[in-house]
Structure 1
Amino acid sequence: MSEFRDISCYATAILIKFAKRKKMPESVYLQGIQEPLTHLNNVLEWTSIQTWTKLIDNIADYLGRKTGIFQDLGYEITVMEMTHFQMFFFKVAPMVFILKKISNHINTSINRNLRVSMTFSENGVMDIHYHILDLAKYNLILCDYNRGASLAIMHCKGYQDATITDMSCAARDSKISPCHYRITWKPRPSLFRRIRESFQLRFGYHGEILSFMEDKHRALEIQYEEILKLKNDIQASNDFLNHMMDNTNEGIVWLNGEGRIVFANAAFGRLVWKAEKELAWTTFWSHLSNAMTEFDYRRLFMESQEKTGIPQIKEFEFTRPSGDTRIGETIISWITTGQEEPGFLVTVRDITEKRKMERQLFASENRFRSLYQNSPALIVGIGSDSRFIYANPAMEEQSGYTETELQSMHFRDLVAPDANFDVDRLVMNRLDQGPSLQEVHFRTKAGEWKAIALNTYPIHDDTGALAGIAGIGIDITETKRLNEQLVQTQRMDLLGQMAGGLAHDFNNILLAISGYGRLLHKKEQNPELKEYASAIMSASERAAELTRQLLTFSRGEVGKQESFVLNSVVTEVKQLLMPIVPRIINIQMVLPEREIRVKGDSGKIHQCLLNLCLNARDAIGLIEGTITLRLVPGNEPDYIALEVEDSGPGIPPDIIEKIFDPFFSTKKRGKGTGLGLSVVYGIVRSHNGKITVDSKPGSGARFRIEFPEYQVEGQKGESMNEKNVPSDKKKGLVMIIDDEILVRGYCEDVLKSEHYSVISFPSAESAIEWFQIHSAEVRFAIADIILPEMDGVEMVEKLRAIRSDLAVFFMTGFISPNMKQPPESDPVLHKPFSPVAMMETIRKLEKERGL
């Protein structure tokens, strides 16, 4: 701490002496000072400029702060400290000698931050330069105090007319160094010259007498200085010894040959909580616990006498009057000298807190050891060479390797080859940073790949040097798999919402186009116009099919577990692939003639198949190739296999087992498309199916999905054509509610051609308002599900609140899982629909409701 303690405590001691002369309370001049009074009064100690400044500042506040107060204090304190001898010395000693003494005293014993130089001239001018080593440890108060002290010395010398002038001041301007004072006075003759002139002495005999007096006077001064120095050295030695005894933290005790205390320092008194007079001539073991008998203690000390010069180290338990105990590490030495009575020198170091900390550390180590051993989290240490230092049982269980095996391995031996970070950079760049969370993929001993959320932070050795990183991680493999499925689902849901809105409007238009095309084809007799109507019908049917495929792909419609024709799904996927697969890649399809049915969500199967085909396209690249889709019998009875085969480069054997992992991809970051193979795997499993892959480098890849085939009792009959629809004339009023005028017009024309009366409404509000008056007149209602201000399902609920037996069938161009679903008893007709389909639905509704 010497770099912060540059002021000798002699400077604080004379301030305290001055404060006591002024009868200042101790609490006033020591206010805000942390250092003890004994330290500040000890001239052998050092303190800081801040403590000295606070002390003199408190004195100035007490005396009444005024302009020039610190210069006045410097003057007054210097005069106060001047002894009669020093006053005489200043009067008679040569000025050059005085200046040299003062400079050496300040430079070596008063202020380590100052170097003082003084230049004296006989013409009444003296320059004083204070060279400051560190301006941060110098201030204006010290500058003013030094100026007053300098002026006091000149006045003591006898120059009462001396004045002091600032030439430059570093305390006022940090750019200036050093501080420069100039003292001027009226020159006068020397003392001996004045004596000689006063007695009118002449040169010769009288001059020799005066010269002899001067020599003897100088010799006496030198002898006095030597005596004074010797006295000061002895006092300083005693003060230093007493200071060490009083301020050491170790108890020091001198015992006579019987083990009684002759001397004990303050530290031992604090240990046993007793004053010095209470300890005098008591036996040492009377302050120890009852762990041993007095006889045993005496015998132990006697053993020390037999081993002169060989200290014994023991741990004793010392008792206090309160009953508390302290543990002391005790060194016992038998000392014999020729001049003093022999005795025991005993030193005691209080290690109570150390033992307490050791017990706490032991308990803490046990807790952390238990946490390390039993934590389900992976805990590892990795050295600066990227090798494992330690691994807990959870890491052993997750990786399949023992800790010993891991310690012989490099960290990169476990990390996935497609990891998006460099292992050495991961280790070395973490050494001087704080904790960091990142995802790490590693391979187990069994060959399984896992994803770990790993939090790493630096570790240090016992010297404080950086030694590596420690990591705590948890297995997030399954979480990532589920999260990928969730992200894909959310993406498809968003796409479905966008596609659904487009499909709703598009299907309304297609309904009008295809419906009127069918009506035109039915009524027109001109063969050419009939052919045009057929073309319109064919084009609208293809547009409707494309809309349905878009909704199926985006999962915009409700996915139900129902049977569907797998042949149709394969055909639809091929049609979707045509515009997005390069023309140099041939898409082949091998399907059986009979319909193959499976039960499940056709939309999800559609997505799985499309994803496998897109992967096949990416594998082939921009060269000629073939993608083959085929349906073949499964390996088990009543199973059907769906295969996707490509002519690409194939899948390397070292990664084929990892392709269904959620975090694995051979594509560059951000280049993946469609569903991940892990999601494909999950969808196949949810349909009670299984997926396998067969591939060899250079021979392409073949993915095979096997589903249980759904068996039906009989084939569904062909749809009714227009000629099979009965045209019996049944009258009745039908409500049509749809916001699209083309849809309302088409439905009106179909119903009127079947001899129904029709009333149509563009909104739910207008329909409800009319129905409140004419509800009894309505035979049944046809309602669109998606209406502008109120959906069709809610509207029908309000209509049935007026008339509960109202028969209704719904029509829609789009319905999503998030929409309010119509009751299962009410039929739903999807747009666009033909007049035949519309009338089939009406006939079925009338038959079920008995209309």
Structure 2
Amino acid sequence: MPLPDWQQTLRALDVGVVVQARDLSIVYANPKATEMLGIAAAEMTSRTTDDARWDVIEATGDPVAPDEHPGPRALRSGEPVRGVILGVRRDDRPERAWIQVSAIPERSDNGVVERVVITLSDVSDAHREYREQDAVYKSVFRSMSEGLVLHAPDGSIRAANAAAERVLGLTVDQMSGRAATDPRWQLVTTDGVAADATVIPSEIARRTGQPAGETILGVSRASGALAWVAVRADPMFDPGDVALRGIVATFTDITAERETTLALEASRAQIQRVLDAVPGVVYQFLRPTEGPDRMPFLAGRIREVLGVDPQVAAANPMLLPTLLGQSEQAALFANIDAYVAKQEIFDHVLSVTLPDRGLRWLRVHGIPERTDEGVLYTGVILDVTEEHRMAEALRRRQRREAMGDMAAGIAHNFNNMLAVILPNVEMARDDASPETRASLSDAARAASSAADLVRRMLALGRAEPTAADASVDLAAITREAVHMCRQTFDRGITIVDDIALPVAFVRSSASELQQVVLNLCLNARDAMLGGDRCRLFVRLEADGADAVSLTVRDSGHGMSRDTLQRLGEPFFSTKGPGRGTGLGLASAFHSIADAGGTWRVESTLGDGTAFFVRLPLVAPQTNESSASSPSQYVFPDGVVLLIDDEPMVRTAVSRQLTRGGVRVEVAESAEVALDWLREVRTEPVLAVILDLSMPGLSGAQALPQIRSSLPRVPVIVLSGHVSDAQELVGAAMVLQKPISGRELLDALQSVIG
């Protein structure tokens, strides 16, 4: 019997068609359907959906329950079910057929679903290709060294690969559902600031629909440790569609690199702190096997030490040699050649004139190292200007002390001669006729002036005892000194004085202050010799309420820096032979210091010199000299023991004492004196006059023994050179040779009482 037209049409279709009744029985299946399912038409129409022989799975591999087949679902819901991919086990083949199934319900006139028309399309080849591609995709997805995370359109994570699990320390299940903005990630930027949606690449891609470039973020692992990742993100769209399907975020674990970078930055910061702490310039100097010398490295306190901008030094690392004079540059490279040849530690001190800083002294120190390129020196350049100046000052002080010691030795011998001359001149003057007395008085004054010069020489040798407080009028002394200069200086020198103060009492002696003023004026005169329009200016004015200022200025040749540094050094003089001893200014500066004053000098070559002396004012004192004559002294009965190794000194001092009414016992040494003290005596000893410097047993050594033998007898120490009066414990008085008869008798009367 011929088939109806609709069945003929269905038989010819390349699509399987199955009609399922309301009771789930299959009432029709065309040949294509039976072919795809591998079941004969008779057998198929004998089955229902819940037949146990069906073996149907979803694309995921999960089994499909009978009531979840597309037909029952369409019958139950009355709605079409379209495009469901199912895997069906066929009896004649070992592998499943993959079929795309759609179920369309048909209704009667009253709207009741009568049957379902199910269409079947064989997609086995397409599904096989998809599975193969999916397998490749999953393999690549799993094996990627980069972390990969798939975000849903709402930003939540829906998939992640093994690398992502390893980097983040979380499983896919633990990550699923989290958004990149979830606070549990504790995302931070490289600045340590919490990262928000504006800097997170997946959020940027989700918001803009554009790829987000690499960003470095810190993320908290499950262990709590911080991981650093370089993240990129790309949005996903279907072809021709504008709806966002998701975001692919990839990231690389750069924790090790980041930690290395941070360690390097910390190391650089530490090196910079070290460089900042080094009080100099750190450098590297390369003497290559071939080619010119160069400095690969120059850093540190470049501006402070070299006086140039660090950027200028960076552009020209070989800048230092260009700052040197020709001779210094030659000496530097000669030393470099010598040290490089031996590959020894380099150490060289050079002078350099820097802009706005003047003359500076630099010490260049370096350690050698043999490299493939040549000899490399690494070292430091230090500014040793202050150390150089201190060393120079120390050397000058040592020279001054040595000269002072020599001066003190000369002064000691000279004093012994004066100690003979002065008493004899005084005694001769007292017995001389009026005509002769004036000449002898001049001789006595000359001897006193010589004694004053000796005291200044002793002061240079640190041997002068502290002078007693006295006051003298500097204004009167300055006027007298200016008057003497006008009488004796060359008429070509114009002397201008401005002595505004009527009186100005300072603590010193008249002879010392006179020497100070005259020395300054004489040095000014000598500085103007041979010059034109010579002018000497002397000013004395108040310096505040408690001090006075003396200025002596000339229009002479001026002084160099080296001369200024040695000014005041004993025996240093710029004058020719026979024209100066170098003691004038040295003694003048010492007198100023003794008076509690200060001094300074301003001088420029070709532009003259100015000395400024500042002295504190004191209340005026009246020094009443004794007018007693030798016959007016009264001493108790007894004898004065005089101990001195110089015969002429013993004779002169003994005569002075005898003329003053004193009985004298002399001893030429301390040993003789001690023997005499041990003898039995019937007359008392009133005092002992002891010379300090004697051969054999010195006065300092004999003093304790004398005090032991005569505990109640005063001892007067008399010497041409007292090194330290503080050490003469037990001495009632210390007197400096030479001494006048009146001063010696006054001292005796004072200690005997």
- Report the Cα offset of residue 521 of structure 1: 1.8
Distance in 2, Cα, partners of 1:686 & 1:480:
29
Aligned partners of 1:511 and 1:831 also within 8 Å = yes
Question: What corresponds to 1:758 in structure 2?
Answer: 664
Distance in 2, Cα, partners of 1:605 & 1:382:
60
Give me the TM-score of the superposition, normalised by structure 1.
0.45
SS at match of 1:422: helix
Question: What corresponds to 1:483 in structure 2?
Answer: 391
Q: Share of identical aligned residues, percent? A: 22
Distance in 1, Cα, partners of 2:369 & 2:718:
69
Question: What corresponds to 2:709 in structure 1?
Answer: 802
Report how many residues are paired.
472
- Report the Cα offset of residue 409 of structure 1: 6.5
The reply on whether 1:518 has 2:426 as its aligned counterpart is yes
The reply on whether 1:703 has 2:611 as its aligned counterpart is yes
The reply on whether 1:504 has 2:412 as its aligned counterpart is yes
Distance in 2, Cα, partners of 1:582 & 1:386:
62
Question: What corresponds to 2:350 in structure 1?
Answer: 440
Question: What corresponds to 2:362 in structure 1?
Answer: 452
The reply on whether 1:788 has 2:721 as its aligned counterpart is no
**Judging changes above 3 Å, is the alpha-carbon distance between structure 1 residues 645 and 527 closer, same or farther for their aligned structure 2 residues?**
same
1:624-682 Cα offsets, whole Å, 9 max, x none, are: 6858474512443322223232222458xxx99x997899xxxxxx999979x99x999
Question: What corresponds to 1:719 in structure 2?
Answer: 625
- Report the Cα offset of residue 780 of structure 1: 0.9
Distance in 1, Cα, partners of 2:538 & 2:503:
13
Question: What corresponds to 1:742 in structure 2?
Answer: 648
1:507-558 Cα offsets, whole Å, 9 max, x none, are: 222222221221122233x334434533442442343233334334555535
Aligned partners of 1:453 and 1:475 also within 8 Å = yes
Question: What corresponds to 2:733 in structure 1?
Answer: 827
1:462-493 Cα offsets, whole Å, 9 max, x none, are: 861579x7652334333333333322222222
- Report the Cα offset of residue 781 of structure 1: 0.9
- Report the Cα offset of residue 806 of structure 1: 1.6
SS at match of 1:430: helix
1:415-437 Cα offsets, whole Å, 9 max, x none, are: 988x6943265247625444432
- Structure number having the greater strand percentage: 2
The amino acid across from 1:637 in the alignment is A
The reply on whether 1:540 has 2:450 as its aligned counterpart is no
Aligned partners of 2:426 and 2:440 also within 8 Å = yes
Aligned partners of 1:689 and 1:706 also within 8 Å = yes
Distance in 2, Cα, partners of 1:629 & 1:555:
33
The amino acid across from 1:422 in the alignment is E
Aligned partners of 1:613 and 1:627 also within 8 Å = no
The amino acid across from 2:701 in the alignment is E
Question: What corresponds to 2:300 in structure 1?
Answer: 393
- Report the Cα offset of residue 362 of structure 1: 12
**Judging changes above 3 Å, is the alpha-carbon distance between structure 1 residues 618 and 729 closer, same or farther for their aligned structure 2 residues?**
closer
SS at match of 1:742: helix
**Judging changes above 3 Å, is the alpha-carbon distance between structure 1 residues 374 and 619 closer, same or farther for their aligned structure 2 residues?**
same
The amino acid across from 1:547 in the alignment is V
The reply on whether 1:839 has 2:742 as its aligned counterpart is no
- Report the Cα offset of residue 771 of structure 1: 1.0
The reply on whether 1:644 has 2:552 as its aligned counterpart is yes
SS at match of 2:697: coil
Distance in 2, Cα, partners of 1:416 & 1:619:
34
1:149-174 Cα offsets, whole Å, 9 max, x none, are: xxxxxxxxxxxxxxxxxxxxxxxxxx
**Judging changes above 3 Å, is the alpha-carbon distance between structure 1 residues 645 and 634 closer, same or farther for their aligned structure 2 residues?**
same
Aligned partners of 2:305 and 2:382 also within 8 Å = no
Distance in 2, Cα, partners of 1:758 & 1:477:
62
The amino acid across from 2:618 in the alignment is Q
SS at match of 2:610: strand
**Judging changes above 3 Å, is the alpha-carbon distance between structure 1 residues 595 and 683 closer, same or farther for their aligned structure 2 residues?**
closer
Name whichever of 493-502 and 435-444 sits farther off: 435-444
SS at match of 1:392: strand
Distance in 2, Cα, partners of 1:683 & 1:379:
48
Distance in 2, Cα, partners of 1:619 & 1:410:
46
- Report the Cα offset of residue 568 of structure 1: 11
**Judging changes above 3 Å, is the alpha-carbon distance between structure 1 residues 404 and 634 closer, same or farther for their aligned structure 2 residues?**
farther
Name whichever of 498-507 and 437-446 sits farther off: 437-446
The amino acid across from 2:423 in the alignment is G
**Judging changes above 3 Å, is the alpha-carbon distance between structure 1 residues 765 and 556 closer, same or farther for their aligned structure 2 residues?**
same
**Judging changes above 3 Å, is the alpha-carbon distance between structure 1 residues 370 and 410 closer, same or farther for their aligned structure 2 residues?**
closer
- Give me the CA root mean square deviation: 5.7
Question: What corresponds to 2:678 in structure 1?
Answer: 772
- Report the Cα offset of residue 795 of structure 1: 1.3
Unaligned runs of 5+ in 2: 1-138, 146-262, 568-573
Aligned partners of 2:715 and 2:730 also within 8 Å = no
- Report the Cα offset of residue 389 of structure 1: 6.1
Compare CA radii of gyration and give the structure with the larger one: 2
The amino acid across from 2:362 in the alignment is I
The amino acid across from 1:737 in the alignment is I
**Judging changes above 3 Å, is the alpha-carbon distance between structure 1 residues 369 and 570 closer, same or farther for their aligned structure 2 residues?**
farther
SS at match of 2:718: strand
Question: What corresponds to 2:506 in structure 1?
Answer: 597
Distance in 2, Cα, partners of 1:543 & 1:661:
29
Distance in 1, Cα, partners of 2:446 & 2:590:
38
Aligned partners of 2:297 and 2:317 also within 8 Å = no
**Judging changes above 3 Å, is the alpha-carbon distance between structure 1 residues 715 and 373 closer, same or farther for their aligned structure 2 residues?**
closer
Aligned partners of 2:520 and 2:552 also within 8 Å = no
SS at match of 1:495: helix
**Judging changes above 3 Å, is the alpha-carbon distance between structure 1 residues 582 and 738 closer, same or farther for their aligned structure 2 residues?**
same
Distance in 2, Cα, partners of 1:761 & 1:588:
56
SS at match of 1:644: strand
Aligned partners of 1:381 and 1:388 also within 8 Å = yes
The reply on whether 1:379 has 2:282 as its aligned counterpart is yes
- Report the Cα offset of residue 789 of structure 1: 1.8
Distance in 2, Cα, partners of 1:426 & 1:366:
33
Distance in 1, Cα, partners of 2:367 & 2:670:
64
SS at match of 1:483: helix
Distance in 1, Cα, partners of 2:590 & 2:298:
33
Aligned partners of 1:515 and 1:833 also within 8 Å = yes
- Report the Cα offset of residue 765 of structure 1: 0.9
1:303-340 Cα offsets, whole Å, 9 max, x none, are: xxxxxxxxxxxxxxxxxxxxxxxxxxxxxxxxxxxxxx
